[in-house]
Amino acid sequence: MNNDAWQEPHPGERIGIPGARSIDHVGFVVPDMDQAIGFFVWVLGAALLWRSGPFGAPQIDMGATFHADPRATARLAMMRLGPNLNIELIEYGVASERRVSPPSSDVGVGHLGIAVDDIAAAGAFLRSKGVRLLEGPQVTPEGPNAGESSWFFLTPWDLALELVQRPKALPYEKTTEARLFQEASR
């Protein structure tokens, strides 16, 4: 892919996939489906919508279809967190599968940020559930998101998740009409 022609868009400018309206879901690979469902339900408050699988090899070439080990099988669970976030949990079955989560600094590793009203209360709740919280909360002192607080925590399998509390307005809003949250257009 040649990115020489890519230019930084103007704030709020929509370019890219024609007809794209919103994110449908975020997917995370988990080592133990039942443990992951339990964590998302009992700690994060998600609802289990459905489960499917196993599917995969030898009927489906998982490498060509999902960028996974071609010999893998998979089980899925779709969760709903809050009013509009769908989370797909994926448990792969394959002999070469790594069972250790890479550090957040590895390429391709992401995290999920969860908006909260009171970051201290959210942290206290997670701590009461035995969840490992990292150092925090961290408050951004300056810049386009000054006043934002964040606090990372880990699932039992070391997936990094983040609590985020923002003030009513952020400094970047003075320079553009673009906002972090807006009604999706059809």
Cβ atoms of 153 and 126 within 8 Å: the answer is: yes
Q: What is the per-residue DSSP string for 44-89? A: T--EEEEEEEEEETTTS-HHHHHSS-TT-EEEEEEEEETTTEEEEE
- Give me the pLDDT at residue 145, please: 92
Quick check: is 126 in a domain?
Answer: yes
Same domain flag for 86 and 104: no
Q: What is the pLDDT of residues 24-50, one digit of tens each?
A: 889 999 999 999 999 999 999 999 999
**pLDDT band at residue 150 using 50, 70 and 90 as cut-offs:** very high
Same domain flag for 92 and 119: no
Same domain flag for 87 and 109: no
**pLDDT band at residue 97 using 50, 70 and 90 as cut-offs:** low
Domain total in the chain: 2
Report the alpha-carbon distance of residue 150 to residue 161 in Å, rounded: 10
Quick check: is 31 in a domain?
Answer: yes
Q: What are the beta bridge partners of residue 153?
A: 133, 161
Same domain flag for 40 and 87: yes
Tokens of 142: 């300056």
Same domain flag for 120 and 80: no
What is the span of the domain harbouring residue 124? 100-170
Average pLDDT over the chain, rounded to whole? 86
Same domain flag for 65 and 40: yes
Same domain flag for 110 and 76: no
Quick check: is 15 in a domain?
Answer: no
CATH of the domain at 138: 3.10.180.10
More confident residue, 6 or 89: 89
Q: What is the pLDDT of residues 163-185, one digit of tens each?
A: 999 999 999 889 888 888 765 55
CATH of the domain at 39: 3.30.720
- Give me the pLDDT at residue 3, please: 65
Same domain flag for 90 and 46: yes
